[in-house]
Homo-oligomer: A and B are copies of this chain.
Amino acid sequence: MNTIAVDAMGGDSAPVDLVKGAIEAKQVGVNVVLCGDQNLIKPYLDNVEIPIYHYPQVISMDEDPMKAIRSKKQSSIIGCMQLLKENKVQAVFSAGSTGATLVSAITILGKQKGIIRPAIASVLPTLDGGIVLLDSGASLDVKPKILFQYGVMGAKLAEILFNNSNPKVGLLNNGEEDTKGRDVEKTAFKLLKSSDLNFVGNVEGRDFATGKADVFVTDGFTGNVVLKTMEGTAKLQSKLISKSLKENLFKPVLPAVKKALQPAKDTLNPDKTNASYLLGVNGVVTIGHGSSNVEAVKNAIIYTNNSVNKEFISDFTSEIEIT
């Protein structure tokens, strides 16, 4: 049976929501351990037996990740990565500083052979499945070859997650014409086009709903902004819908309509499917929203546990060679 290490100190409402989420995940059968300050964790455990690995230091969201990982050897995220490195756990989940998770994973687990930069791959909902968006925040500035490697890693993840032997890879750009983009997109386009990937060319934000691609490749700055824009738009639309219904619908019908809308709402709720993969490192690491609440933490831990045996961390060395 697999065990998931949870960074109890990472996240806006750490440790309380992390501990409670871990308890809920344990209650549905997931093996978890917690890394963090045991004095802060224990009060929330309510006598539930979850092993604690005592790592009293915390890396905050606004610390420089490089410096923090170097100076805070007793931080909870380092504890998680050590356990994974030593094979005491099979995956790590953190909702803390993305930079610290990234740097500690690279430092302790190491990058996969040939991978220049690890990427955060977010799995986003569509009408009848999902898409992979990467990078959604690991590296803000990238070179064309890095975007190409994201395509390779993202395609593998899509293949495994969506059971799709030939996922379509698109390059997120400011237009669909082949000539669009900055220099980095123009060169990456050529690399992707001449590769063995099922490259469908440039894609746009509006293609999140069209099925034009299964994998959306972009730099971490754009990917991160896109992710949060999707969230913001979904929230805005939900509010507009509530307002419209309240103003225009016969009141007694409202509860039934709201109930009928719930599945649509759940699909776009980041608390329901709240985990992104850190690809390109030697181990299964998932990353949650900083604002993860108890439900989000629980779902992310379950999701992480379900991911452990999916072999999306393959040997990419032959695929990422550019000829």
Contacts and interface: CB of A to CB of B under 8 A. Distances in A.
Interface of A: 61-62, 64, 125-127, 137, 140-141, 172-175, 177-179, 181-182, 204-210, 218, 220-222, 224-241, 243-245, 247-250, 253, 256-257, 259-264, 267-268
Contacts of A261: 241, 244-245
Contacts of A141: 182
A299 to B, nearest CB: 19
B264 A240 contact: yes
Which 4 A/B pairs are nearest by Cβ-Cβ distance? A205-B229, A205-B228, A248-B260, A209-B236
B205 A227 contact: yes
A188 to B, nearest CB: 13
Contacts of A240: 127, 263-264, 267-268
A306 B123 CA distance: 43
Nearest to A64: B179
B225 A244 contact: no
Contact of A226 (B179, B225, B235): B225
Contacts of A218: 225
A55 to B, nearest CB: 23
Nearest to A261: B244
15 contacts: A61-B175, A61-B177, A127-B239, A127-B243, A140-B181, A174-B220, A174-B225, A205-B230, A206-B235, A209-B236, A221-B222, A237-B237, A240-B264, A243-B263, A253-B257
A166 to B, nearest CB: 23
A257 to B, nearest CB: 6
Contact of A253 (B229, B230, B241, B253): B253
Contacts of A209: 232-233, 235-236, 239
A243 to B, nearest CB: 7
